[in-house]
């Protein structure tokens, strides 16, 4: 499966999308220049539904009544990439996504089992993410464990229950 196929699947979701992230660094080809600028201390360009096609898709989906949520389980000290990503999540929140952060040190026994990234679509289909030097690869099928949404829903519920949300963005 390629990322464009995952994006098509996300566009067909009827009720909910959940994303679990557990790594301290990701390689996303489209982020290289922004990450370099961030590490050089340059201000980040505005990122939201009006400037980013991905966030436009999320915002449109949320406006249509679908719930988007994400938890990033992290370890301290924060990597440079995580500091960059945490700033970038503000655009996700502006698009209507419920973004939460879980610090593994706060509940190590509970959160230690959450080590694999996945998407959970409509509480029915889990798409496991694998990573290599070229970036993410969504994997689904019997071999990847994706036919077991009950495990993924338990992982989602555990992560959401241990992660406070980010503050709302915007006026007010």
Cis peptide before 156 (omega within 30 of 0): no
Which residue range is the domain that position 78 belongs to? 3-161
**pLDDT exceeds 90 at position 64:** yes
The answer to whether residue 166 is domain-embedded is no
When comparing pLDDT for 28 and 142, which is higher? 28
Distance CA(132)–CA(154), nearest Å, equals: 26
The answer to whether residue 170 is domain-embedded is no
Looking at the DSSP assignment, which residues form a beta bridge with residue 125? 121
* Proportion of the chain in helix, strand, coil states, percent, rounded to 5: 40, 20, 40
Distance CA(14)–CA(169), nearest Å, equals: 26
Position 13 confidence tier, pLDDT thresholds 50, 70, 90: very high
pLDDT at 146: 44
The CATH number of the domain holding residue 112 is: 3.30.870
The answer to whether residue 85 is domain-embedded is yes
The answer to whether residue 7 is domain-embedded is yes
Per-residue pLDDT of 108-134, as tens digits, reads 888 888 888 899 999 888 888 887 766
The answer to whether residue 147 is domain-embedded is yes
pLDDT at 19: 95
Number of Cβ within a 10 Å radius of residue 59: 20
pLDDT at 27: 78
**How is residue 23 annotated by DSSP?**
-
What does the chain come to in residues? 172
Between the CA of residue 110 and those of 99, 155, 160, 164, 166, what are the distances in Å? 19, 10, 12, 15, 21
Per-residue pLDDT of 74-119, as tens digits, reads 999 999 999 999 999 999 999 999 999 999 998 888 888 888 889 9
The answer to whether residue 168 is domain-embedded is no
b/e code 113-149 from CB counts within 10 Å (16+ = b): ebebbbbbbeeeebbbbeeeeeebebbbeeebbbeeb
The answer to whether residue 167 is domain-embedded is no
**pLDDT exceeds 60 at position 26:** yes
**Mean pLDDT for the stretch of residues 45-70:** 95
The answer to whether residue 171 is domain-embedded is no
The number of distinct structural domains making up the chain is 1
Query: What is the chain's mean pLDDT, rounded?
Result: 84
């Amino acid at each position: 499966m390629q990322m464009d196929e995952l994006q098509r699947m996300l566009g067909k979701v009827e009720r909910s999308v959940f994303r679990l992230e557990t790594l301290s660094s990701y390689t996303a080809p489209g982020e290289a220049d922004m990450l370099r600028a961030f590490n050089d201390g340059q201000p980040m360009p505005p990122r939201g539904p009006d400037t980013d096609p991905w966030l436009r898709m999320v915002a449109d989906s949320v406006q249509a009544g679908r719930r988007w949520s994400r938890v990033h389980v992290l370890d301290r000290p924060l990597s440079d990439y995580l500091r960059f990503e945490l700033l970038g999540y503000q655009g996700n929140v502006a698009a209507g996504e419920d973004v939460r952060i879980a610090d593994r040190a706060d509940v190590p026994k509970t959160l230690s089992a959450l080590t694999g990234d996945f998407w959970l679509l409509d509480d029915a289909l889990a798409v496991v993410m694998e990573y290599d030097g070229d970036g993410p690869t969504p994997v689904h099928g019997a071999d990847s464990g994706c036919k077991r949404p009950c495990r993924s829903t338990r992982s989602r519920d555990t992560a959401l229950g241990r992660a406070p949300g980010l503050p709302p963005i915007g006026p007010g």
